[in-house]
Amino acid sequence: MSHIYLIALPPLFPLLQAELGLGYAELGLLVTVFYASSSVTQMPVGMLVDRIGGPLVVALGLGLEGGCFALMGLSQGYAPLLALAAAAGLGHSVFHPADFAILSATIEERRVGKAFSLHTSAGHLGTAVSPALMIFLAAVWDWRAALAVIGLAGLAGMVAILGMRNVLTGDIEARSAVKADQADADEADGPRGLKLFLSWPMLMMLVFFVCTALTSSAVRSFSVAALGEAHATPMAAAAAALTAYLFASIAGVLFGGYLADRLKRHDLSIGIAFVLTGAIMVLVALVALPAALLLALFLVAGFLQGTARPQRDMLVRARSTRKTLGRAYGFVSTGASAGGAVAPILFGWILDLGHPSWVFYGIALVMMISLLAVVLDRRPSP
């Protein structure tokens, strides 16, 4: 649901523009406000998760976001849409801090990597189906009904989560001598809690999340256009390669969960994936490839990037404590939101300058910076 909401609005932009008379800059601002609201509230939400537990927070967040999207379908002007986008972003901010804290606290150690991978792959699936779902619903009814349907689905999800709250809290409550002690909670919110986020490992994790969000957004948003401008690749072939990348990443995430439960050196598996993917991106920048080979390379790149996702989440988990899981994931997810917001501007600017190959060089370069952050993360905290 969170990833369906994440990109639910852009496919409907032409319909909103026609009915409400809005420009694309105004419509784009809706998405920017949504991302910004989600980004700045993830840390406070993470602290709330550490205080009261994840299940209630995630239920309320899903209900808020679903309610906002349902109300968007009733909006008659731009100002209500903008306000609802900001409120929906607040609801969206709960997912990473709450979900990963729930999984970390309730899944037994030997299977937590698989749990992370299933959760992340579901998000990838939501991203993949959201545009087609929104266009289908709008074609059957209209854009207002499309937003209302997914909004009501979120409210139904909230009711379901509240009804099954005991399943999601079982182990958390059993281990909550940690959380029940108010002094411990205060300590985690105080200087010692702040020290966690100023520590070298967590700062490197923040850099890593910023960079991986930059590369993911760049591939999704500009690879088709860059291939067309750099090598005159037919749009159908470029779009097929991107589709292969996106679906292969889902398979990679699932396999990455299997690896995460068996490997001790998560940084090493991330390094291999990033070096190979970076090499593929450089090759794509340098050479006009046949459509079949291009598709195969994007398939491999997507799979490799997918395998790194559960390893990444395991690194964050290892660098936090049970008392600070929510805020740790909130902290690094803020970096992911920031990277996702910067990428369209940065890589769009590169295309506007007339250097489409540098989209792929840039992706490879940022991947190497990501890898450097993981390598430097192995240094002890100062």
- Taking residue 159's Cβ as centre, other Cβ atoms within 10 Å add up to 12
Domain co-membership, 24 together with 94:
yes
pLDDT in tens, 191-218: 455 666 677 777 888 888 888 888 887 8
Domain co-membership, 149 together with 208:
no
Domain co-membership, 199 together with 171:
no
Q: Would you state the pLDDT for residue 236? A: 83
Domain co-membership, 38 together with 88:
yes
Domain co-membership, 155 together with 47:
yes
Domain co-membership, 60 together with 109:
yes
Q: Would you state the pLDDT for residue 174? A: 40
> What CA–CA distance (Å, rounded) separates 69 from 144?
9
Domain co-membership, 12 together with 76:
yes
Regions in the chain scoring below 70 on pLDDT: 24-25, 169-197, 320-326, 377-382
Domain containing residue 369: 195-377
Radius of gyration for the chain, computed over Cα atoms and rounded to the nearest angstrom: 21
Query: Is 188 within the bounds of a domain?
Result: no
Domain co-membership, 78 together with 227:
no
- Taking residue 18's Cβ as centre, other Cβ atoms within 10 Å add up to 10
Query: Is 189 within the bounds of a domain?
Result: no
**Number of domains composing the chain:** 2
Among 180, 214, 248, the domain-final residue is: 180
Q: Would you state the pLDDT for residue 354? A: 86
Domain co-membership, 349 together with 210:
yes
Which two tokens mark 150? 């997914």
